[in-house]
Amino acid sequence: MRAIKQLALELAAPPAPTLDNFVIGENAELVAALRALPHGGQSERFIYLWGGSGSGRSHLLKAALQALRGAGRNTILFDGSAEGLQSDDACVADDVQRLDDPAQIALFNVCNILREGGGVLLAAGDLPPARLPLRPDLLTRLAWGLVYEVRALSEEDRRAALRDYAAARGFILPRDVEDYLLARAPRDLSSLRALVDTLDRLSLEQKRAITVPLARELLTSLKSS
**Boundaries of every domain in the chain:** 28-149, 154-224
How many Å apart are CA 190 and CA 89, to the nearest integer? 29
Alpha helices, DSSP H, located in the chain: 2-9, 28-36, 57-70, 101-116, 136-142, 155-168, 175-184, 189-206, 212-224
In this prediction the pTM is: 0.83
DSSP 33: H
Q: Tens digit of pLDDT per residue, the chain (225 long)?
A: 445 556 555 565 667 889 998 999 999 999 999 999 998 777 899 999 999 888 899 999 999 999 999 999 999 999 999 999 999 999 999 999 999 999 999 999 999 999 999 899 999 999 999 999 999 999 999 999 999 999 988 999 999 999 999 999 999 999 999 999 999 998 888 889 889 999 998 898 889 999 999 999 999 888 776
Check: CB of residue 130 under 8 Å from CB of residue 100.
Answer: no
Cα diameter, the chain = 61
- 8 Å CB contact between 173 and 142: no
Rounded CA separation 23/146 (Å): 21
Q: What is residue 161's predicted lDDT score, i.e. its pLDDT? A: 93
CATH of region 28-149: 3.40.50.300
pLDDT of residue 54: 81
Q: What angle do CA 88, 94, 100 make, to 5 degrees?
A: 100
